[in-house]
């Protein structure tokens, strides 16, 4: 049965955001497990804490800007429940983007509860 009540969609989307506390980017595509995260750089790459916007029509959104070391190619992004280690929540492939020099990339994460 599809969820018809907006209240329920928003509550479930909000719960997803509470579970997915940190964003990441990957140099290999995620699937049932996380992809490989970049290492190094100045400033160094690290997962970023996420602040999700309030649920609206079953959708929550958060964004983060990641520092990337020179020579990085990003092919995926994902969500985790900790700054390091922890659990992989979800991920997706992205259009491949290469960064020949130290740079940043901003990723917007969306979750839609239908």
Q: Alpha-carbon distance 11 to 51, whole Å? A: 16
Rg (CA), the chain: 15
Report how many domains make up the chain. 1
pLDDT of residue 107: 97
**In this structure, what token pair is assigned to residue 43?**
């400033």
Q: Which residues pair with 48 in a beta bridge?
A: 23
* Residue 1 is assigned to a structural domain of this protein: no
User: Mean pLDDT for each 10-residue chunk of the chain (114 residues)?
Assistant: 90 95 98 97 97 93 98 98 97 96 97 93
Q: Alpha-carbon distance 87 to 102, whole Å? A: 28
pTM of the model: 0.93
The residue range of the domain holding 49 is 6-112
Q: Alpha-carbon distance 61 to 110, whole Å? A: 5
Mean pLDDT of the chain: 96
* Residue 96 is assigned to a structural domain of this protein: yes
pLDDT of residue 19: 96
């Amino acid at each position: 049965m599809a969820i018809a009540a907006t209240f329920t969609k928003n509550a479930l989307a909000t719960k997803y955001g509470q579970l997915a506390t940190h964003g990441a980017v990957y140099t290999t595509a995620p699937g049932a497990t996380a992809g490989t995260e970049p290492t190094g750089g100045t400033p160094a790459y690290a997962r970023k804490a996420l602040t999700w916007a309030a649920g609206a029509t079953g959708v929550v959104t958060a964004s983060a800007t990641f520092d990337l070391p020179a020579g990085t190619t990003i092919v995926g992004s994902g969500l985790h429940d900790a700054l390091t280690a922890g659990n992989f929540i979800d991920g997706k492939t992205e259009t491949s983007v290469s960064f020949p020099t130290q740079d940043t990339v901003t990723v917007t994460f969306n979750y839609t509860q239908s």
